[in-house]
């Protein structure tokens, strides 16, 4: 039996922990302190760390965790990620003995060029590629890159749990309502997620089905998003990539 836990870190990060009551795997531990406290409290041994990309709020705990637990570090090839023991890229498979886990690795560039995501046991650990009702900023990649990454995620089963690395959901919903405010699924999600946050509970994981219904960045193939993009660009967008680019540009402008 596997248990999935989002551990809050910094102001709005989540470190995801998957464990079998004895051994644990952690995803993107930027801050080692909350993870070590959790492992100690539950008497768990950390056997592996999974890294999605090189940003410090995802990698900052690696050195201390590696020293303390002698755990494997699985990550994309990037010299800015320290102490990597196993380099991964899209199309790879990853097997971990304790706990017994199997993941498929997706290449998901866009937010960064090195970004990968991990799919297994009904979970998608997507780092900063998808957020609750949002997606990551394009710090290094292009709209075409991110659109292709999102298409790979859209191909996963609807029941997939979407395990994002930040609690940005309510802010993303506020933006989504500016371009998709008549979407009843979005309005219901807002009600449910505001109730969760009022109780200091995470809005994550969501499901891919919920993201498909409410997340404008995953709806860039749909007619209502195409209509928005045409209005935003003041011309008909030639294809889904341009629709996605218009949504991303609108969010960047909304963020100020």
Residue 47's pLDDT is 98
CATH number assigned to the domain comprising residue 193: 3.60.15.10
Does the active-site annotation cover 19?
no
User: Which of 158, 151, 150 has its CA nearest to residue 209?
Assistant: 158
Residue 241's pLDDT is 97
Task: Decide if 224 contacts 159 (C-beta within 8 A).
Answer: no
3 CB-side CA count, 13 A:
13
Please identify which of the residues 23, 53, 54, 115 carries the catalytic annotation. Answer: 53
Task: Decide if 20 contacts 42 (C-beta within 8 A).
Answer: no
Per-residue model confidence as pLDDT tens digits over 153-195? 999 999 999 999 999 999 999 999 999 999 999 999 999 999 9
Measured torsion, CA atoms of residues 98, 100, 105, 109, in degrees rounded to the nearest 10: -50
DSSP 21: S
User: Which of 221, 226, 223 has its CA nearest to residue 236?
Assistant: 226
Number of domains into which the chain is organized: 1
User: Which of 165, 161, 163 has its CA nearest to residue 112?
Assistant: 165
pTM, two decimal places:
0.97
Please identify which of the residues 19, 23, 54, 55 carries the catalytic annotation. Answer: 55
Residue 256's pLDDT is 76
Which regions of the chain are under pLDDT 70?
none
Structural domain harbouring 179: 3-255
Question: What CA–CA distance (Å, rounded) separates 76 from 190?
Answer: 34
Tokens of 155: 């191909």
Please identify which of the residues 19, 74, 166, 193 carries the catalytic annotation. Answer: 166
Does the active-site annotation cover 40?
no
Residue 140's pLDDT is 98
């Amino acid at each position: 039996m596997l248990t999935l836990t989002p551990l809050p870190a910094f102001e709005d990060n989540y470190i995801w922990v998957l464990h079998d009551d004895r051994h644990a795997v952690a995803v993107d531990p930027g801050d080692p302190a909350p993870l070590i406290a959790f492992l100690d409290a539950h008497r768990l041994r950390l056997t592996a760390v999974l890294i999605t990309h090189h940003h410090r709020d995802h990698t900052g705990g690696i050195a201390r965790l590696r020293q303390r637990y002698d755990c494997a570090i699985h990550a994309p090839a990037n010299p800015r990620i320290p102490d990597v023991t196993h380099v991964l890229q899209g199309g790879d498979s990853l097997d971990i003995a304790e706990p017994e886990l199997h993941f498929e690795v997706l290449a998901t560039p866009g937010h960064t060029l090195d970004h990968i995501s991990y799919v297994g046991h009904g979970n998608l650990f997507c780092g900063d590629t998808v957020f609750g009702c949002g997606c990551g900023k394009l710090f290094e990649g292009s709209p075409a890159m991110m659109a292709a990454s999102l298409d790979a995620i859209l191909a996963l089963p609807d029941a997939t749990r979407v395990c994002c690395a930040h609690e940005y959901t309510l802010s993303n919903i506020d933006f989504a309502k500016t371009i998709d405010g008549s979407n009843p699924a979005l309005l219901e999600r807002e009600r449910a997620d505001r109730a969760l946050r009022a109780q200091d509970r995470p809005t994550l994981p969501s499901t891919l089905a919920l993201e498909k219904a409410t997340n404008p960045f995953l709806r860039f193939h749909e007619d209502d998003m195409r209509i928005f993009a045409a209005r935003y660009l003041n011309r008909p967008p030639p294809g889904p990539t341009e629709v996605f680019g218009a949504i991303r540009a609108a969010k960047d402008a909304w963020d100020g």
